[in-house]
Structures are given as structure tokens and as C-alpha cells.
């Protein structure tokens, strides 16, 4: 049985600007942290796989001093964990409020793959709670229940490392020849191809300038052919 494996952010929905970035900045305000990411700042942070890892990137000596954080690495790790939990809750609320509609074509492709008997999965560096919220919002609770979700800190190394896709292959019990990945970023493409997987790239708002030469197919969006709507990319 073949498998279709989706990335989450930028693939199921274009979540970065109105979701993750907004949630990060609200978190910074809540914890009185001396930082506010612009869209340009966040585009750079997206090169780092994982929200918790993006928060860790703040911990320069200058930032630690300005934020009056403890010099103890364990205390800093605990602070990052607190920030990330708060950010995840904000982000989940934003998803459920409907401010980030699913990308065009996602519901159609999932329904068609499910009807054809394909295994369905999401492989993401985001927190599992965030991924589940986006997935349910994008395809509905009934179809979402048929997905295997691989997300967050379940592997030693996040994208662009191939760990998450190797885990997905093992858990789904499929070979690389039986699986197709849908990604939107260079990091995601690198992770999938390093795991030996054929990858379709659907370009998202933050990734239009990235290098996708290794992809099997690159599209501006997946589109809704039945309604003739290639928009909402």
C-alpha cells in the first residue's frame, strides 16, 4: 500500500506569517523578552528546523543579559520550554479561529488518496499539538483520524536531517519506492531526499526563492481542479 506524507506548515496551510510568527511575537510580549521578529527576521529563523530550536537561537550572551535570564543552562532550557508551551497554545488558538485557511487542493488530494487506499501521514518539526490542529482544520476530523502524525521532538535531529522521514517509513511499513512526500521548503526537501523519497514541492509564501532542484516536481500550489481554482496558493 503506497503512502502520501505531508509536511505541515506551508503545505497543509500557509501558517508561518499569520500563525507562527504572530504567536512567537505574542509570546515575547507575554514574557517581557527584548525581541520582536519582523517578517524578514522570521524568514531567517525558518532556516532553523523546529520552533523550540528557533527560540534557543535567541540565547546569545547579549540577549541573556538584556532578558535577565539565569546563566545556568538548565534554567535557560526550562525557560525555552515555558516559552514554547505558551507559544504553542497561542498558535493552536489561531488555527482554530480560522485565520489560516487550508491551502488549495489539500482536501481534494487527501480525499482522493484515502479513497484509493493510500496510507496518510504528516511529518513535521512542529509540536504535535500544533500539527494536529492544522491537520484537523485542513481536512476535517474524520480524515485527520486516519493520519499517522510524526512531529516535534520524536527524533534526535530535525529537518534538514532525514530522521523524521526515516521514522515515518519504518512506522508506516513502506519502502521509499512506495511513498511520496509533499514539502514546501528547502529544508524539508533536503530531509525527504536524504531519506530517499520522491518529493513534490508546493511553494509557500516564505519559500519562493529557495532551491528546489532536487524535487521530482515543483508547483506554485496543488490547486482545486474540480472547482477550477488554482488560487489560495
User: Catalytic residues, which ones?
Assistant: 7, 9
169-208: b (≥16 Cβ within 10 Å) or e: beebebeeeebbbbbbbbbbbbbbbbbebebbbbbbebbe
Yes or no: say if 110 and 13 are a contact pair by the CB < 8 Å rule.
no
Yes or no: say if 121 and 154 are a contact pair by the CB < 8 Å rule.
no
d(CA 144, CA 11): 15
3-state secondary structure of 227: helix
Output Rg (C-alpha) for the chain, integer angstroms: 18
**Nearby residues of 54 by Cβ (< 8 Å), 6 or more positions away:** 24, 45, 48
The DSSP letter of residue 144 is: H
Amino acid at each position: 500500500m503506497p503512502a502520501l506524507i505531508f509536511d505541515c506548515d506551508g503545505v497543509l496551510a500557509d501558517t508561518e506569517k499569520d500563525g507562527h510568527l504572530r504567536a512567537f511575537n505574542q509570546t515575547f510580549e507575554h514574557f517581557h523578552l527584548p525581541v520582536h521578529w519582523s517578517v524578514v527576521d522570521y524568514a531567517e529563523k525558518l532556516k532553523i528546523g523546529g520552533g523550540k530550536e528557533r527560540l534557543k537561537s535567541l540565547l546569545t550572551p547579549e540577549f541573556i543579559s538584556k532578558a535577565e535570564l539565569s546563566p545556568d543552562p538548565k534554567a535557560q532550557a526550562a525557560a525555552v520550554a515555558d516559552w514554547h508551551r505558551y507559544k504553542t497554545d497561542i498558535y493552536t488558538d489561531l488555527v482554530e479561529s480560522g485565520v489560516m485557511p487550508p491551502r488549495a487542493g489539500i482536501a481534494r488530494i487527501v480525499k482522493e488518496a484515502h479513497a484509493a487506499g493510500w496510507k496518510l501521514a504528516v511529518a513535521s518539526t512542529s509540536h504535535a499539538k500544533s500539527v494536529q490542529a492544522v491537520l484537523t482544520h485542513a481536512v476535517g476530523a474524520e480524515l485527520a483520524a486516519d493520519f499517522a502524525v510524526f512531529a516535534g521532538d520524536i527524533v534526535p535531529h530535525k529537518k534538514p536531517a532525514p530522521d523524521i522521514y526515516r521514522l515515518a517509513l519504518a512506522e508506516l511499513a513502506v519502502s521509499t519506492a512506495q511513498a511520496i512526500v509533499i514539502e514546501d521548503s528547502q529544508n524539508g526537501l533536503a530531509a525527504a531526499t536524504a531519506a530517499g523519497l520522491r518529493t513534490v514541492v508546493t511553494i509557500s509564501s516564505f519559500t519562493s526563492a529557495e532551491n528546489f532542484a532536487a524535487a521530482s516536481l515543483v508547483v506554485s500550489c496543488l490547486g482545486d481542479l474540480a472547482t477550477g481554482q488554482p488560487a489560495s496558493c
